[in-house]
A = this chain, B = another copy of it.
Amino acid sequence: MRDLYRMPGHLIRRMHQISVSVFAARMRAAGQDLTPVQFAALAALSAHSGVDQATLAGLIAYDRVTLGGVVDRLEAKGYLVREVSETDRRARILRLTPEGEAALDRARPVVDAVQDEMLAGLTRAERDELLRLLHKAAEAGNARSRAPLRAPQAERPAQG
């Protein structure tokens, strides 16, 4: 069997762990209080205001049940509001509040810095190549995930 330390699964998990750790550290240093999924939800909601929870989950590739809890916490922070849809009373329509938009704008530069720091060990060319390979592999594996990405086609072309 191949060495644990050479397994794609192990290395992906390590990079995810590093990513989450750097994200938390940078957010904390900036005096902000958003988790990665909370940021993703705010960003997607800003671009697609008025979608329901299930649609938002698809836009950022999260399980609907998981996203329900995330939305709970964002609502508690006053960053978004839930309204019952007028056309489908099962659905909850989500909208950012001005506070939510402000929190998102504050977070954007911090999140950009996180992306650079987590790949600090790679040259620029290597980062580009890693990004290309991850994008290709993630696209190919989308259906194998429990929560496939369901984004507008225009936003996820086949190659980066």
Identify the A interface with B (CB < 8 A).
1-19, 21-23, 25, 36, 40, 43-44, 60-61, 108-109, 111-112, 114-115, 117-122, 126-127, 129-131, 133-142, 144-147, 149, 151, 155-156, 160
Contact = CB atoms under 8 A, between A and B. Distances in A.
Copies assembled: 2
B122 A130 contact: no
B140 A4 contact: no
Query: What's the dominant secondary structure at chain A's contact region?
Result: helix
Given A130-B8, A130-B134, A160-B6, A141 B118 contact: yes
A151 B119 CA distance: 21
Contacts of A44: 4
Contacts of A5: 135, 149, 151, 155-156
Given A13-B16, A131-B11, A134-B11, A4 B141 contact: no
B136 A121 contact: yes
A16 B141 CA distance: 11
A137 B114 contact: no
A28 B129 CA distance: 34
